[in-house]
C-alpha cells in the first residue's frame, strides 16, 4: 500500500485566514471563497517532506464547508475580504485505520483558480508516520 492513497483533497473544506491578502484584479470578480461550488481539478506539488507525491484529482465543492467524510475541523473561519481561508482538520484514512491532518491556507486568486499551501501529516499503523508540505492549485472545470 502507498501512503499517498490516503491523503484527501479536503484542504478547502474547513478553513480561515488573514485578511491582509489583496483581492485579485479581474473585471467583475469578487472573492467568495466561503460559497464556492462546482467541480475543480486539484494538482499537488510536494515542496518538502517524506509522504511523497499526491496524484491530481477532481473534487466537487458544495459551498457549505464544515466537517465531511468523518473529518474533524479544528479551525474554519473565512477572512474579512472572503479571499482566503486558513484550515486545520483531521480525517480518517480511506481504510479507517489511520488519520491524516491538514493545516494551511487556501487563497482565491480568480473566479476559476485557488491556491493552497498545506502541510499534511499521516499516521497509519501499517504505513507509519510521514509529514510533507504541498502547494496545491485548484482549477474550476
Distance CA 134, CA 53 (A): 9
Could you read off the pLDDT tens digit of each residue along the chain, which spans 141 residues?
Answer: 344 433 443 434 443 333 334 444 567 789 999 999 999 999 999 999 999 999 999 998 875 555 566 888 888 789 999 999 999 999 998 899 999 999 999 999 999 999 999 999 999 999 899 999 999 999 999
> Is there a contact between 57 and 139 (Cβ–Cβ < 8 Å)?
no
- pLDDT, residue 68, reads 62
At residue 4, the pLDDT reads: 40
> What does the pLDDT read at residue 5?
36
What is the tally of structural domains in the chain? 1
Q: How far apart are CA 22 and CA 125, in angstroms?
A: 43
Structural domain span for residue 12: 3-140
Amino acid at each position: 500500500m502507498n501512503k499517498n492513497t490516503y491523503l484527501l483533497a479536503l484542504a478547502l473544506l474547513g478553513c480561515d485566514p488573514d485578511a491582509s491578502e489583496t483581492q485579485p484584479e479581474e473585471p467583475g470578480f469578487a472573492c467568495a471563497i466561503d460559497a464556492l461550488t462546482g467541480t475543480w481539478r486539484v494538482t499537488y506539488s510536494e515542496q518538502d517532506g517524506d509522504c511523497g507525491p499526491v496524484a491530481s484529482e477532481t473534487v466537487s465543492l458544495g459551498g457549505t464547508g464544515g466537517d465531511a467524510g468523518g473529518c474533524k475541523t479544528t479551525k474554519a473561519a473565512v477572512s474579512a475580504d472572503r479571499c482566503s481561508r486558513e484550515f486545520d482538520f483531521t480525517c480518517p484514512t480511506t481504510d479507517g485505520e489511520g488519520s491524516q491532518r491538514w493545516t494551511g491556507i487556501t487563497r482565491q486568486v480568480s473566479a476559476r483558480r485557488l491556491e493552497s499551501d498545506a502541510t499534511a501529516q499521516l499516521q497509519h499503523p501499517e504505513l507509519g508516520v510521514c509529514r510533507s508540505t504541498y502547494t496545491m492549485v485548484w482549477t474550476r472545470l
